[in-house]
Structure 1
Amino acid sequence: MAHKGDSGAVARTVPAALRRRLLVVASVVVATVVTACAMVQWRNRDLRLAQQALTRGDPERAYQLVTAFLSEQPANTTAKALLARVFVSMGRPEPALQLFDDVGAATPEELHALGRALLMQSRWSDALPVLTRAVELAPTNADGLYELTSARLQLGLYKDALASATRFAQLPSHEPRGWVLIGSIEGDLSNYRKAADAYLRVLEYAPAAKNLQVRADELFLELGRMLLGAGTPAEAVNHLQRSIDILPSADGFVSLGVAQAELGELEAAVDAWTQAVTISPSNLVAREYLANERLQERDADGALQWLKPLEKSPSLKASTAYAFQRCFILRKEPKLAEQWQEKAAALREREKLAVAIENLLIEAPLSYWARVIRAHEFASAGNWKQAEAVLDTVTSASKDPFVDDLTSAVRNRSALPPLTRLPITQF
């Protein structure tokens, strides 16, 4: 008699033929499960290989693998997110954003790719929170930090941009490029000594200024300019000359001439400015310096020879117009002198507005009027969507005709109201 718990006895009560059939069925079930698991593992292997291809910089191979996977599993969200990243790596933001709209972005890699896709479309406001989160999740993501800094700069968030640039510069092997970024930001803020010091730090890591995001001649030119702005022309000369030695440029010769003039080397300065005009005949700054040198000698005709090509320049400055005025005063032509006096006054008003705008954008980038001006700048550059995004943050508080007209122009993609209508006294 079989006792409870006696498995052997129970087995003996089952007919042998039935036991064989049960074993066959069990074997088939096990084989089916094993095969299914193997297929899943094989398919997942394709995704892993696609990920590896993307990581090593081969998006075309990654595209082949992930699209093959999706042909069998079209609803797989992991594969769709990976395909979106592949599209970003291939420089195709539109299909990438469509996929991210479908499946979202959860991992640091996906968030970074989404942020990059938005940057590619110049959607700075949309990219900013995405890249911020991506960097929070992956603090050592060098590309993410660099792109976050770029987005912040585009939105005028200089303080935040400086913070992320500093973090970027602290990452191993990224120090020189990070200090270039810091120098550029400090220069935009008119912190000339800090900018110069940042560029000097670059040269500690890369003495020849190679393998940077700027050319070597550009780096030495910017360093020289910052040293000029910081009031150290003697220190600036060597770096400006080094820039010119690498690649002669009108800007390089103009700045070199300024440094030499400040050091009392006027003849050398005139030679440098003349070189600038030789390279770039329409260079306004060099011609104005050369004209002023002639005016110091009361040589009105000589000054006019330098100024005449600038007469109808759209980039004419108040100081240039004033130089014209002085020429005609010396030539005893009062009517022409008066005309240039009026033009100089009008240009001074325009420049006064430009300075007020620049100061506002730097000192209070999130203020009401700073956002309005930023929207106008985006629209002027043809970035209508970004202009709309910025205006969406201010129009609810709008009580100014300029803002109303700007909003209407942006929505209709029509002519923008001139910045001269800005109520400058309010900011």
Structure 2
Amino acid sequence: MESGDAAGALATVDEYLETQGGTESGLALKARVLVKLGQPAEALRLIERVGAASVPEMRAYAQASLMLQRWTSALPVLEHLVKLEPADGDLLHELSACRARLGRYDESIAAAVQFSKLPGNEARGFTLIGLLERDRGNNQKCAEAWSRVLELRPDAKDLQVSAAEFFQEYGKALLLTGDASKAESALVRGVSAGESAAALAWLGKAQQQLGRRQDSERTWLRAVELEPLNAMAAEGLAELLMQRQDFAGALARLQPLEEQPGLRSSTGFLLQRLYGLLNQPEKSAEWKQRTEKLRRAEEALVHMEQVIVSSPGTMWGRVYQAWYLAEQDNRDQARELLSPFVKEGAEPFIMKLWAALRDGTPLPGPEEGPLDVF
């Protein structure tokens, strides 16, 4: 297995098990090989049968759990392994990612900082810190971390993300912290590294904030060429058409988005205004109601994220983590997190979420949760 021939190693182990019987050490070795071959479910079955006594066996268990998105199973093993081997970069990276999946961002960033201090891992460490700060909504710290990355790797190569994605997300963070000029420079580099509708949409936004409407229009038109249903670009183009009093043209830009999943309240608000300007009061009233509902859901989602980030170990922090895991189609982990809070007299949101997980039905919307849980 050390040579990289996992398939050959599996054949050797199977031959050994056939001649010597299913010894615990042989089965544990087979589990390690199965992880290398990308068969985590069978690997976990074997490890749970014979136990994980050595560091390599514990690593195999943790890696298989991560591959199956069993974050709560992987976490205590990774934390134990890092205590044993605190200078192992792979372990620290895995621990950081696992903690983040469970909403434990402070602890996740602590592991990422430790990772960044290991020789040869500084650039990747600051990349990881930036990703984590981005995910918890701290754009200023994200931009600071990635500025450090560029000091170390000016081309943003050989990181956990592609150069195109790095510059797109760096530019986005800069724009959201109010630095449109630096954001434009980063986003231009992102588009040069790999053109995408998302990067172009944010680039158009930066150009708009810099007062360059013609540039933003050209950029957004290219974005919708690549992705006709890109909401940010469509909204930007619609607003430009509204400024020219071309309300029908603006509506035509937005109508394809009306029934799309993930519709944004900002799109709904523009549709409400446009139907009003085009003397369609009933449609305008309908969109006013839809927009208010979308806004409530967005505000509730932000509230959920704040609870997870600020209070991950509380009941509601864990309940909302369960909702997010279920939203990502990881219902087994969601059930595991939620089950301690399912009891008589539990909050209605908890019981609705549990019923959805049990029955395979749609999840309750975030707006159905309480807004006063701090």
Contact in 2 for aligned 1:108/1:135 (Cα 8 Å) = no
C-alpha contact (below 8 Å) 2:220/2:233 kept by paired residues? yes
- Alignment counterpart, residue 376 of structure 1, candidates 310, 323, 333: 323
Provide the residue aligned with 2:99 in structure 1: 152
Segment of structure 1 superposing worse, 290-299 or 154-163: 290-299
Cα pair distance change 1:397/1:344, threshold 3 Å: same
1:421 corresponds, among 342, 350, 368, to 368
CA contact (8 A) 1:398 1:404 kept: no
Tell me which of 318, 330, 337 is aligned to 2:284: 337
Query: What stretches of structure 1 of length at least 5 have no aligned partner?
Result: 1-53
Point out where structure 2 has 5 or more consecutive residues left out of the alignment.
none
Distance across 1 between alignment mates of 2:110 and 2:146: 17
Q: Structure 2 counterpart of 1:230, which letter?
A: T
Question: Match of 1:337, as an amino acid?
Answer: S
In the alignment, the residues of structure 1 paired with residue 11 and residue 263 of structure 2 have an alpha-carbon distance, to the nearest angstrom, of 55
Task: For 1:272, give the aligned amino acid.
Answer: T
TM-score for the superposition, normalised by structure 1? 0.81
Counterpart residue identity of residue 275, structure 1:
R
Report Cα offsets for 1:325-378 as digits up to 9, x if no partner: 222333333333222222222222222222211222222222212222222332
Q: Does 1:213 align with 2:160?
A: yes
Whole-Å separation in 1 of the counterparts to 2:366 and 2:192: 41
- 1:396 is displaced (CA, Å) by 5.1
CA contact (8 A) 1:142 1:171 kept: yes
| TM score, norm. by length of structure 2 | 0.92
Determine the structure 1 residue equivalent to 2:247.
300
Partner of 2:215: 268
The total of aligned residue pairs comes to 374
2:50 to 66, 83, 103: 103
Identity between Structure 1 and Structure 2 (%)? 38
1:5-404 to 2 correspondence within 5 Å? Answer: 54-74=1-21, 76-395=23-342, 399-404=346-351
CA–CA separation in structure 2 for the residues paired with 1:205 and 1:151: 26
| Greater CA drift, 334-343 or 109-118 | 334-343
Q: Could you list the structure 1 runs, at least 4 aligned residues long, displaced by more than 4 angstroms after superposition.
A: none
**Change over 3 Å in CA distance of 1:127–1:396 after alignment to 2:** farther
2:357 counterpart of 1:410: yes
Task: Tell me if the contact between 1:111 and 1:133 (Cα under 8 Å) persists in the aligned partners.
Answer: no
Pairwise CA distance, 1:283: 1.0
Q: Read off the aligned partner of 2:78 and give its amino acid letter.
A: L
Q: Comparing both chains, which one has the higher relative contact order based on Cα–Cα distances under 8 Å and sequence gaps of 6 or more?
A: 2
Larger Rg: 1
- Give the letter for the 1:115 counterpart: A
CA 264–332 in structure 1, closer or farther in 2 if over 3 Å, else same: same
Structure 2 vs 1, CA of residues 398 and 120 (structure 1 numbering), >3 Å: closer, same or farther? Answer: farther
Deviates more, 1:124-133 or 1:144-153: 144-153
